[in-house]
Amino acid sequence: MIEEEVTIQGFLVARTVEREWEIENIAIAGAARRRGLGSRLLGEFLDLARKRGAESVFLEVRESNRAARALYAKWAFVESGRRNGYYHEPDEDAVVYRLTYA
């Protein structure tokens, strides 16, 4: 008998237009959080984007999502704008972040 336990612990969805990349969604399973998986996933994505010629990476995040905002700051993203009332249920602004490759 062969048994395997395969579960997805996280994912990242992004798109690119020319040299600008945008992270659409990044998620880590609840039980897998606080183990560095989000940082690892983001780091691998940013390496891939850079290798494929990205000049910048954008994303937006709920203003109240402190954990995500700390993660993005750790990876040198800077706040570049806001989208008022972007999120619903509950209504909340989105903070737009940008990482520019030098």
Which neighbouring-strand residues pair with 60?
96
Q: Which of 5, 55, 72, 86 is catalytic?
A: 72
87 is annotated as an active-site residue: no
- Identify the architecture of domain 10-100 in CATH: 3-Layer(aba) Sandwich (3.40)
- CA distance readout (Å), 12 to 2, 8, 47, 100: 30, 11, 13, 19
Res 91: pLDDT: 95
Task: Tell me the per-residue pLDDT of 25-83, one tens digit each, with 9 for 90 and over.
Answer: 999 888 878 888 899 999 999 999 999 999 999 999 999 999 999 999 999 999 999 99
- Locus of tokens 């993203």: 77
> Which amino acid makes up residue 21?
W
> 3-state DSSP call for residue 25?
strand
The ranges assigned to domains in the chain are 10-100
60 is annotated as an active-site residue: yes
This prediction has a pTM of 0.86
Q: Which of 18, 55, 60, 63 is catalytic?
A: 60
